[in-house]
A and B are shown apart, each in its own frame.
Chain A
């Protein structure tokens, strides 16, 4: 883990959206862009069919064919656009990069501010269905004490956030930017949540322990002590055959958690990691010119979500929120913002910072805040409690959910929301007085 990059602070604003550096944002795609996308989809040139009866050679032609047909004919971007624009969206420049975020304040006094970070190949679109349950719990089976104020940023280079023009935006740098974002919004006590690359960012926040961060929740294990990585993997890390989940291999060797180990090894078989870790510009050059190519690359993230999404397109049987429209909302967002390359660079940045950390031999600071963890059964690997405890000694909550996968908030928003309520409940109780004062001050 590299040291956080100092972020230039802006004046502390009063609560809410009154900071002069925070501007309202909405987005309307041009008709030309949508027509061009449809025209490209119709003109897609596909390869011949895979030679196997399963997904062992990659994304199957039938799935991609069905996706392309639906995207080019029935799918309507304007629906998601209207839905996004109905939410309070903002942009604010932090450290030279304009950051997009959704900010929904709860009506409930004492709501706990929560920043949720998406990963790749996701976006803020993953999180839309948890906004209601988290900010308005009384309308979604919860109680007023479960309420959150929600901040859902787009990672740099993703969606409506700008793409960095300089190198250095690794997860640690993003974490520093998030702390500044929260400060700029006037929150002095808050919690953070993330999966996938969002887990990497949230992990960095936990280690940086910015003022006001009460605790974090993960639905993905992304971290392990650097010195252990260096001792076991050595320079192999720099080969690009890792995401930060590589860490799990380390633990598994010691603990013989065979199922998880097999899953992690299968992850390494996903060539996208090696390619994006080392050559984001090359793969980006292929994806930005081909919507069907971009769709395929994004579908090939993990076996469980691929199978679920395939079923949605081939059999009309979506798993929870992973519907055809939602999948294409996310893919269209990547397409319309031309962010396939800039998004892939986060892997390159992550690889650079890990290689640098290994080379320097510096130990990452321990996560000093309470950590909550939910394991979803369809996730790339089911992190055993013992691994999570090893990574996060201040583990205050650990639960294995009974359904959901890598895109947990997207697929199972109600269950995901219940996990966050349960995960952060103890933090509200322990710091209730302070949080309550805070909120009254802000309201």
Chain B
């Protein structure tokens, strides 16, 4: 992969104090999205006309996403689900598009009313989107109304990754997490922020860590809910499929067991997307196929979603899940988003040498719950480490209150 060049910033941006709440930069355009009635009708028609495989031959998820779950999802999607609600909710946020490095980047930008709010850029992952982050906008930007103090306030920037959601689809190769990190730095600069923090999980973590490695002057710290901490010896043992090294602590053993399962049973989608993203035409043509593929991200979130469609109340609702899948469908971004796996040559869970202050929140149902011992080695300037009792891969989406409190606590020392 050649290193991408950045487009130089065309003009200086005024400091935040003189900026309006909305975007005053000439290259930042307001954005809203309204799906065509025809697109929604076509979606419903396709869901209703789904051709189904026969049921899996096992009583669990060991052959993949289960027939009953996908059927429940499809029934709800075709009948009760209403995209217009999600659309209205999105359009109620200040959304913008700005071209960076030749690509249109979509983002939500919500400024706090609090004068000393800390600017924070939050990056989603796959199969996520800005929809994952909507529930934390209020707690983070308006903390006094949500159990926090004025001193906890953030200005929030929530971009859509290239090829995801309303951001443009790259038409050339090279948009790996490093290039995206450069674009995010440019975005924060364009918004006039000179002192800010960054946060992410999944690919959002990869991008956030690369921002930290690029070390722009304004970036004072990061928070991650999917830290890359796996020590080399552990990674080797996992790759060989061999037994766990002796002498692991209880937390390390728990992480090992999660990773061992993921490596043995859960990497199929990542392998396909990393090598053959274009082959996944079925996801562009079949909404139910797209949903099944997106549900199969990690076993814990799959189980949670299965419970949700079986009628159990959990951190996510049926609408949450379908808002996100519908966004992928309406923007036809299954393949363009899969290309991020192809673009990245970074070892996903290996420590990257981040040397700026780092806050880590560990949710128990994440792909792996990073032990403190590994985390301290991966992030020498660890300013916050907390293990939560509940939550998984989509932490902000699933546990917005706990997640928001983690963000406040994680960055408190940097204010």
Contact = CB atoms under 8 A, between A and B. Distances in A.
Chain A interface size, under 10 / 10 to 19 / 20 to 34 / 35 or more: 35 or more
B241 A283 contact: no
Contacts of A233: 241
Interface in B256-298: 263-269, 271-286, 288-290, 292-293, 295-296
B66 interface: yes
Chain B, interface SS category: helix
A409 B339 CA distance: 35
A345 interface: yes
B52 A61 contact: no
A57 B278 contact: yes
Contact of B281 (A59, A270, A274, A279): A59
Nearest to A275: B268
Interface stretch (B56-64, B93-101, B214-222): B56-64
B57 A58 contact: no
Contacts of A61: 278
B334 A47 contact: yes
Interface in B381-410: none
A45 B267 CA distance: 27
Contacts of B335: 47-48
Contacts of B50: 289
Interface residues of B, number: 59
B116 to A, nearest CB: 43
Contact of A237 (B65, B66, B239, B241): B241
A73 to B, nearest CB: 18
Nearest to B329: A45
Interface in B344-364: none
Interface stretch (B16-24, B137-145, B164-172, B365-373): B164-172
Contact of B339 (A57, A273, A287): A57
B332 interface: yes
B362 to A, nearest CB: 25
Nearest to B332: A47
A236 B260 CA distance: 10
B51 interface: yes
Contact of B282 (A234, A236, A292): A292
B276 A289 contact: no
A275 B288 CA distance: 18
A235 B286 contact: no
A300 B240 CA distance: 27
Interface in B17-73: 50-54, 56-58, 63-67, 70
A165 B295 CA distance: 24
A278 B54 CA distance: 17
- Chain B CB within 10 Å — which of A60, A233, A276, A345 has the most? A345
Contacts of B172: 51
Contact of A271 (B274, B292, B336): B274
Interface string A45-57: 1111011100001
Contact of A238 (B171, B241, B278, B339): B241
Contact of B278 (A47, A235, A284): A47
A46 B242 CA distance: 42
Interface in B167-185: 169-173
A376 interface: no
Given A239-B263, A240-B265, A286-B283, A58 B289 contact: no
A44 interface: yes
B279 A235 contact: no
Contact of A297 (B169, B264, B282, B336): B282
A31 interface: no
A252 to B, nearest CB: 18
Contacts of A341: 53-54
Contact of B173 (A51, A271, A299, A340): A51
Contacts of B286: 286, 289-290, 293
B77 interface: no
Nearest to A340: B53
B266 A278 contact: yes
Contacts of A287: 282, 289
Q: Is the interface of A mostly helix, strand, loop or mixed?
A: helix
Nearest to A240: B268
Contacts of A59: 276, 278-279, 281
B342 interface: yes
Contact of A290 (B268, B273, B285): B285
A323 interface: no
A279 B339 contact: no
B339 A51 contact: yes
Given A240-B267, A285-B64, A286-B293, A166 B278 contact: no
Interface in A225-252: 233-241
Given A57-B276, A239-B267, A342-B54, A282 B285 contact: no
Nearest to A279: B64
A271 B54 contact: no
Given A269-B275, A279-B63, A58 B280 contact: yes
A422 to B, nearest CB: 37
A33 B172 CA distance: 40
Interface string A36-72: 0000000011111011100001111100100000000
B332 A236 contact: no
A188 interface: no
B312 to A, nearest CB: 22
Contacts of A273: 271
Contacts of B284: 45-47, 293
A237 B274 CA distance: 20
B265 A234 contact: no
Residue of B57, B273, B275, B281 with most partner-chain A CB within 10 A: B281
A164 interface: yes
A185 interface: no
B63 A296 contact: no
Nearest to A50: B278
A283 B269 CA distance: 9
A162 to B, nearest CB: 10
Given A240-B267, A286-B290, A234 B336 contact: no
Contacts of A295: 281
Interface in A136-191: 163-167
Interface of A: 44-48, 50-52, 57-61, 64, 163-167, 233-241, 269-290, 292-297, 299-300, 338, 340-342, 345, 348
Interface of B: 50-54, 56-58, 63-67, 70, 169-173, 239-242, 263-269, 271-286, 288-290, 292-293, 295-296, 332, 334-336, 339, 342
6 contacts: A45-B284, A238-B264, A283-B268, A283-B293, A295-B281, A340-B53
Given A275-B272, A278-B264, 19 more contacts: A57-B342, A58-B279, A59-B276, A59-B281, A60-B278, A166-B57, A167-B57, A236-B240, A238-B241, A239-B241, A271-B272, A281-B56, A281-B64, A286-B283, A289-B50, A292-B285, A296-B279, A297-B282, A338-B53
- By Cβ-Cβ distance, the 6 closest A-B pairs, closest first, are A293-B282, A235-B241, A271-B272, A286-B289, A281-B64, A58-B278
